[in-house]
Structure 1
Amino acid sequence: MCPRSDYPRSQIREMFAKATSNFVKQIDPDGCLIPVSRLNDSDKLVPLSLVVKRKRFWFWQRHKYLPSDFTLSDVLLGSKPINPVVVETDFLKYAGTFGDTVSGKVDAELGKTNVSVEGKGSFKLQSSFGSLRKQEVDVQKLLQDSKDRVLNLEHCLIQQTREKRNEVFGILKERIVTTQQCSVTEEVQEQGDCGGVLGFLSNKRITVSVNENGNMQQDSNISMEIPPQTVIAYSLIELVVKHSGQYELCLQPDTHGGFEVDSFIRTFTEVDGHVGQHSQEAPGISAETPSLKKELDSLQPHFQQLKDLPAPARATLLQLLKAVMMDREAVSALESGLVQLCHNEMADLSELEESPSLKQKVQTLLDLVLQSSRADQNQTDGVSAEPHPSSQVLYAAHVLISAMAEMNDAALTALTRCCSPQFLQALQQLVHCLAAEEELSLQDPALSPLLEEEGYKRVEQLFYGSGVILRKEASTLRVEMGEQPGLLPFVMSISIQGLASLGKSDV
């Protein structure tokens, strides 16, 4: 079955990204494997290929990895290439099945949470890439071959990466590849109720299954085939690049790559600048989970920047965000575009070329933020000037968009249904309650959107998807952290605060 022509390629790419991300979360949640987000990147991910690691701005973000078209040998001086010795072994056979029901009720397990699924229709979530192989570079041989070798600092990729304050090099050390043809299938099913609070879960299911006999499920809406020898995950060795062009391999988990600048190595902490105190190297969470109240308080100046925008600009930004926030690729492009604007560069939206309408909305958003940034800077400086990397409006917008980009699908879906200004003010009250560990009275006028059952369910769904529990007790509301929610409550709270700042009333 081929992909339906009325589905954009961006949605098909998203299916592959979700499938590989789920795979890594299940088999290596705290390790160093990186999921391949684009099928087209698979051919680039060969042993010792160069991958650019783009560091996050804020502690709640994940790093981004950009496979290049070059290998280590391509950027070395001299004509002798480094030919890696690659050891190939069986990795595992990855398979799993999750739930189905025609009508009535079925119990299933979602992660570590047991839930009941009720309603008409059915779904089956199969996850299987079949038998996988691991291909790993012999690091001892690589160390020997790298001795006295020098990088060509005039190479365009090295020059471009060196100019960026937030990018470093990594070389591919290991990769996980498929051995047989697989298919990724997204099924659309009727939506039911899940334990009273999980009804918000998307009615689209992603299935990854081995296509052994040429047959594929006929009730699916979108399908794509994954050929054998497709890379679905990989790991890197980061490089420290010296002034001379010599390089060192970062072999320990707690050592990180960078470029030598003025006799010291430009590391993550040193280049993160104004956000250095928030940028932990652990993938998404520091050794001690930060205090929600403390972090929200530290971000208040950014939220105030959004509140201080002219009312028409705030209203337009809110409407445009509602239009793009459900498309992962659009949110990612928007976040990357803001980073580029913060560095005084042109925003590159080439990844949205196949979605002209979406690209236009994202470009309009960026133009409006840039226009607001210029206006704010002119008021501050008293002169007309292009925005520079310290533009506070750009950073404020990036705080909001980067948090939205880290929300999971369920929570982001629920948030799109809560984006009216009145609803956002109610959500903001709940966030304050969560941060202060207090309770709220349902008599509070600001909570009026929650008095109706539909409004309360929307909020319940949003909070549950973000690892937060909403409890209604008589005339009061309590908001509590769930068990091991990670940073989901943080990104939800930051997103709500940012959107509420745009939706605030001037009355």
Structure 2
Amino acid sequence: MFKKVTQSIVNEMDPRGDLVPVHSILDHEHFRPLCLVRRKRKALFRPSPGYKQTWYRLDDVLLPGEDDKSTDSLFPNGGGQDSRQFTVKKSISDRVDGSLSLCVEPISVELKGATSLSKGWSIKLEKNHIPVPKLEALKTERKINVNHSFIQQLQKTDQNLYIVHETVETSEETTFEEFTTAEGSFMTHLYAKFHAKGTRENKQSMTIPKSCTVAFRAIQLAITDRSWGLQYFPEEHRSVFVSDGSSQGKLGALKVEVKENCQILSSLSSDLFVIFLKAIKAVMRDRNLFQELTQKMEAVLDETGSCELKTESPDLKDLLSSLQYSSRQLLLKLAGAITYTLDALDELTEDQLLLLLESLEEKIVSQQLKLVESILEHDIEHGKGHFSVDASLLSFSQEKEQKLTIAMVEMSGVKLQKDGSAVCMEKAFSAVAALYASLYVLDLLSNSD
């Protein structure tokens, strides 16, 4: 819920800028001004750069200055304060009436009912900004501690470091509520799995404390010897595709990216296919397991030596145990593939994850993958537009599988009709690309026979 709120705030405040939402309320303190962060690996399905915490602030890796001056004066509450307050509001109220006929062996069932959704919130925010000239002045007063273990590890692994210089924080405690009521047995995100009658209610609430970081901006640090500076124009890798009015180039680039990151999974034994798929399905159901596996895989990729992999979760135990006894070279490749998969799944909505799990049970992931690939062959990057896909890709053995697939694709911004006609409701390439990458891995792991 926190992720949805912060993403919504960024979309309202800076839809085309470089403001980055904080995804977890547990991590917000690690994205305050002067916190050091690292950028996540790039991916075509991630529209904006992602960052991960380092547990360090700039002051932790600098040598003392001649006058032992602290960096506290740079913070927004110190000298040179540059802050603004504003309010963001959002309100949604919707009701959907409908019916759904299903053929569930050995009987046919007709589901009828209505679903209503209401949520609204108002949040007071404060933008805090450390003037870049103050950071520029600091670099002449304080040198970098090249003997710091963190700095040495960064140099060994050739990783870039960034510093948070602007944040958007809550100026008062705020409570959010989301309330969903389903009358009868009609629930859009459960489809064929929900056959009970009556009324179903779901209420979610969350309290965000005062001074909680919801979004931030970061700038890259350039470290050479004992000196450091700000990299205003970091070198970016040139795009591997050319925009020519079609999406063929991007689809080709996406295929290359997915295969490069996940090809190692195809070499697994049948037993390991089962173990890997079990773990991926578990994290799709449980956000806590998702975060645990993400952190462990990032630890593997960041470590220069061996990394001990242990867990209390029975759902992850077999996977981590199999990784623990892999060679270092194989471990790095597998951890990279798992991390890439988790990054793709993290771009999907919770409802999409549920529908993906149901697709696995119905054994329709392979056909869904072909469908999504056919969508990406069209130019869906540049806003709204009508196009068509092969209608046979929407032909399933059961109607519920077709409805499930159409709903899952629509959640990525592409509305499909049974005849194959489609319309892009928004700039949907990134969202559809994340769905493609997720389906690719699930299809690979579920076809172990």
TM-fit CA distance, 1:45:
4.8
2:366 counterpart of 1:425: yes
2:15 counterpart of 1:29: yes
Distance 1:295 1:230, change over 3 A: closer
CA RMSD of aligned residues (A): 3.9
Distance 1:179 1:395 in 2: 39
Residue 168 of structure 1 corresponds to 161
TM-fit CA distance, 1:248:
1.0
Residue 318 of structure 1 corresponds to 277
Distance 1:434 1:169 in 2: 36
Distance 1:481 1:309, change over 3 A: farther
Instruction: Write out the 4+ residue segments of structure 1 that deviate beyond 6 Å after TM superposition.
Output: 191-194, 276-279
One-letter amino acid of the structure 2 residue matched with residue 249 of structure 1 = L
Distance 1:309 1:221 in 2: 42
Residue 364 of structure 1 corresponds to 318
- CA contact under 8 A between 1:186 and 1:221: conserved in structure 2? yes
Distance 1:288 1:393 in 2: 33
Distance 1:136 1:337, change over 3 A: same
- CA contact under 8 A between 1:239 and 1:247: conserved in structure 2? yes
CA-to-aligned-CA distance 1:22-49 (integer Å, 9 cap, x gap): 21122112222222334344445554x2
Distance 1:191 1:28, change over 3 A: farther
- CA contact under 8 A between 1:341 and 1:389: conserved in structure 2? no
One-letter amino acid of the structure 2 residue matched with residue 175 of structure 1 = T
2:52 counterpart of 1:70: no
Residue 454 of structure 1 corresponds to 400
Distance 1:191 1:165 in 2: 56
One-letter amino acid of the structure 2 residue matched with residue 365 of structure 1 = L
Distance 1:428 1:148, change over 3 A: same
TM-fit CA distance, 1:66:
0.7
**2:211 aligns with one of 216, 229, 239:** 229
CA-to-aligned-CA distance 1:427-465 (integer Å, 9 cap, x gap): 2332443355685464x8xx77x2311111111111111
2:88 counterpart of 1:94: yes
2:439 counterpart of 1:496: yes
Q: Which runs of 5+ in 2 are unaligned?
A: 99-111, 192-200, 379-387
Distance 1:324 1:422 in 2: 19
One-letter amino acid of the structure 1 residue matched with residue 221 of structure 2 = L
- CA contact under 8 A between 2:282 and 2:289: conserved in structure 1? no
CA-to-aligned-CA distance 1:290-331 (integer Å, 9 cap, x gap): 521443256446665434422232233223322221334433
Distance 1:320 1:307 in 2: 16
Normalising to structure 1: TM-score of the pair? 0.68
Q: Which runs of 5+ in 1 are unaligned?
A: 1-14, 106-117, 203-218, 257-266, 270-275, 280-284, 375-385
Distance 1:160 1:241 in 2: 13
Residue 472 of structure 1 corresponds to 418
Distance 1:368 1:58, change over 3 A: farther
Distance 1:248 1:367, change over 3 A: same
Distance 2:185 2:306 in 1: 46
Distance 1:178 1:339 in 2: 29
Residue 102 of structure 2 corresponds to none
Distance 1:223 1:121, change over 3 A: same
Distance 1:153 1:405, change over 3 A: same
TM-fit CA distance, 1:501:
1.3
Secondary structure at the aligned position of 2:136 is classed as helix
Normalising to structure 2: TM-score of the pair? 0.75
Distance 2:271 2:424 in 1: 36
Secondary structure at the aligned position of 1:316 is classed as helix
Distance 1:341 1:81, change over 3 A: closer
TM-fit CA distance, 1:337:
3.2
Residue 415 of structure 1 corresponds to 356
2:159 counterpart of 1:200: no
Distance 1:177 1:435, change over 3 A: closer
**1:80 aligns with one of 56, 63, 69:** 69
Distance 1:489 1:90, change over 3 A: same
Matching of residues 97-176 of structure 1 within 5 Å: 97-101=91-95, 119-120=113-114, 122-129=116-123, 131-170=124-163, 172-176=164-168
Distance 1:393 1:89, change over 3 A: closer
Residue 463 of structure 1 corresponds to 409
Secondary structure at the aligned position of 2:285 is classed as coil
For these two proteins, the number of residue pairs brought into alignment is 405
CA-to-aligned-CA distance 1:70-105 (integer Å, 9 cap, x gap): 34376233322232134244332111211144x859
Distance 1:313 1:330, change over 3 A: same
- CA contact under 8 A between 1:55 and 1:167: conserved in structure 2? no
Residue 337 of structure 1 corresponds to 296
Secondary structure at the aligned position of 2:85 is classed as strand
